[in-house]
Amino acid sequence: MKLVVIGAGVMGRNYLRAAKAAGIPIAGIIDSNAAQAKAAATEYGCDITVEAHDIDAAVVAVPTAAHAAIAGPLLKRGVHCLVEKPFAAAEAECHALMEAAVIGRAVLQVGHIERFNPAIAALFASAIAPETITTLTARRMGPASARVSDVSVIVDLMVHDLDIIIALKSAPVTKVEAAGTMDHAEAALTFADGSIATLTASRTAATRVRDLDVATNAGTYQLDYIAKSLTVNGGAPATFTGDALGAELTDFIDSIRDERQPRVTGAAGLAAMKLAWRVEAALKASA
C-alpha cells in the first residue's frame, strides 16, 4: 500500500513518527514548503513526493481550511484518506468529503486520536449503558500552542471531548450553553433524558490537563488521558500502555485492507463538528 502524509507541520511529523514506531511504511511526504518537507523526509527516512499521483492512501494533516480542497479530489478518485481533526471548516465541506468517499469507494477516517487512547478503549470496554449516564465532566487545558491559531479552542480541543461524549451517551442534545472566549471556553450540554455534560477547554492554562469523569446510576469512572489511566468506583487506577496515534494509523490501514468502516467515520466527525459549532454559537450569543 502506497501511503503518503500530506503536510509536514507538527501533526504531519507526529504521524510520521507514529508510523515509523508502528512499522507502517510511508511512501512520501508532501508539503508546499520545500524546506519543511525535506527536513521531515530526512528525519523519518521517507521520500519527498511532489504530486499525489499513483498513491493508495493519504494522511491529510494540513490546516483545516484546506481539508476539503485537498482530500476531496483524492477521495473521488479512490484514494483512502485519514483527515486530521477538525474534520472540515464548514458543514457543507464535511458532507462534500463524505460524498466524495462514496463516489470513489474510498475509506474516510477522521483523526480523533482520543478514540484510540488505551484508557478510553478500556472505558468503552466497560460497556456502560448510555441511559445510565447521569453526568459527564471533561477538561482539556494547557498553555498556548503555536501549532493551531486558525480555529477556536472549541474546534481545536473541546471537539475531542465532544466526540467521546457523543459516542458514550448517544442521545440528542437539547440545550447548549457556553461562556468564555475563543481561547478558554466552558460549555454545558443538556441531553433529552435530563443528563448533563460540562466541558472546559483552554489554551491559556499553566499546565496540561486532559481528563473525563463519568457518573452513572451504577458507579463512577475517572479517566486521565495523559496518564492513560482509568479509575472505577474510586478504586486503584488501572494504567494502560500503547501509542494512540499508531493505533489510529493501524485502524486506518486495517479498515482499507478489510474493506470495513474505520472506528471514526466521516459521520462521527461531522456529529462532533456540528456540536462544536453549536457551542461556538452559544459562546458568541453569551458575549
Here the cell at position 130 is: 448510555
Q: How many CA atoms lie within 13 A of 276 on its CB side?
A: 29
Q: Are residues 19 and 252 in contact, defined by beta-carbon separation less than 8 angstroms? A: no
pTM: 0.94
110 - beta bridge partners?
83
Residue-range domains of the chain with CATH:
3-112+247-265 (3.40.50.720), 115-239+272-286 (3.30.360.10)
- Residues 228-287: tens digit of each pLDDT: 999 999 999 999 999 999 999 999 999 999 999 999 999 999 999 999 999 999 999 997
pLDDT in 10s for each residue of the chain, 287 residues: 899 999 999 999 999 999 999 999 999 999 999 999 999 999 998 888 867 778 999 999 999 999 999 999 999 999 999 999 999 999 999 999 999 999 999 999 999 999 999 999 999 999 999 999 999 999 999 998 766 667 899 999 999 999 999 999 989 999 999 999 999 999 999 999 999 999 999 999 999 999 999 999 999 999 999 999 999 999 999 999 999 999 999 999 999 999 999 999 999 999 999 999 999 999 999 97
One DSSP character per residue, 9-45 reads SHHHHHHHHHHHHHT----EEE-S-HHHHHHHHHHHT
Here the cell at position 243 is: 501509542
173 - beta bridge partners?
191
- Residues 134-156: tens digit of each pLDDT: 999 999 999 987 666 678 999 99
